[in-house]
Amino acid sequence: MTVLQCGARELDLALPVVMGILNVTPDSFSDGGRYLSLPAALTQARLLCAEGSRIIDVGAESTRPGAAAVSVQEELDRTLPIVEAIARELDVIVSVDTSTPEVIREAAARGAGFINDVRALRRTGALEAAAATGLPVCLMHMQGDPGTMQQRPHYTDVFAELDAFFAGRMAACALAGIGPEKIVLDPGFGFGKTLDHNLALLGRLQHFSAFACPLLVGISRKSMLGALLGGATVDQRMHAGTAAAVVAVMNGARIIRTHDAKATCEALAVAGALLERENRQQ
């Protein structure tokens, strides 16, 4: 059984859990601009909790393809009041979706219990900042950067290249004082991958069990789902997203990051019951 110590709270990953997405950005691909104010963000955080989210992932810098960079001060201003308010008012683990060392440190000081970094702590100073917090971290794979990642994704062997990336980042974490018991891995669906790469990774997530770290999967409302549905718009992808979540969990994922918390929690109740039954029989 895997238990992550997320600051003052524990996260039991014996069964899959939902991470609800709270974007406090004007330009995120699905919900940009909806939760910029503190009252709106808190209302959404309460809803995500009521729908079953065990973690709320607060992000103040969009990482959609072609997204513009955000200054450190702007990211701090967007993130910190909301992290502090959620940590104070709700019984939930607050995750901070950031690559910025200053945001990592200050969010942890205000009650964040988890660091979710799409750049896998590769920004200067991020490793040291994360290590100083003592919090669990999610290391995501991304080929390129948000501005260019989807222009021409190419791999000779997508699994071998992700293996090498994860091994390298885990080694860097170990040198900084972040042990494997504090690491979660994310293959980075849609971050420098074609539809075929994404499907291959989803179908063989168990491949990454060799790292003995929990897996986080974020597919919610992404363009790969739109492509599979013949061009469905962002708000037409929920059912495909919940199906993908179930596939991911049955193939080893333990944290599902989603905009659609209620539907995903209900779908995972079925998958979780099957996994629990299998665990009892072993």
pLDDT digits (tens, 9 = 90+) for 44-100: 999 999 999 999 999 988 776 666 678 899 999 999 999 999 999 999 999 999 999
The number of domains in the chain is 1
Annotated active-site residue in 182, 222, 254, 262: 222
Rounded-to-integer distance, Cα 155 and Cα 229, Å: 25
Is 182 among the residues known to form the active site? no
Is residue 76 helix, strand or coil?
A: helix
CA distance 54 to 12: 10
Q: What is the pLDDT of residue 63?
A: 73
d(CA 1, CA 90): 25
Residue with the two structure tokens 């992932």 = 57
Q: Range of 141's domain?
A: 3-281
- In the predicted structure, residue 113 carries a pLDDT above the cut 90: yes
Query: What is the per-residue pLDDT for 261?
Result: 97
Determine the pLDDT at residue 60.
Answer: 87
Residue ranges of alpha helices (H) inside the chain are: 38-50, 72-89, 101-109, 126-133, 158-176, 195-203, 223-228, 238-250, 261-281
What pLDDT is attached to residue 173? 98
Residue 2 has a pLDDT of 83
| pLDDT confidence of residue 148 | 61
Report pTM.
Answer: 0.93
The arithmetic mean of pLDDT across residues 15-29, rounded, is: 83
pLDDT at 236 > cutoff 80: yes
Predicted pLDDT at 149: 56
Amino acid 35: pLDDT: 76
Q: Is 219 helix (H, G, I), strand (E, B) or coil?
A: coil
CATH number, domain containing residue 65: 3.20.20.20
Q: Which of 78, 110, 254, 257 is catalytic?
A: 257
Give the contacts of 37 (CB within 8 A, at least 6 positions apart): none
Active-site residue, 257 included:
yes
**Does residue 117 have a pLDDT over 90?**
yes
**Shortest CA distance to 168 belongs to which of 131, 209, 120?**
120
Cβ neighbours of residue 90 closer than 8 Å, sequence gap 6 or more = 45, 46, 49, 56
Q: What is the mean pLDDT of residues 29-41?
A: 72
Confidence of residue 165 (pLDDT cuts 50, 70, 90): very high
Mean pLDDT of the chain: 92
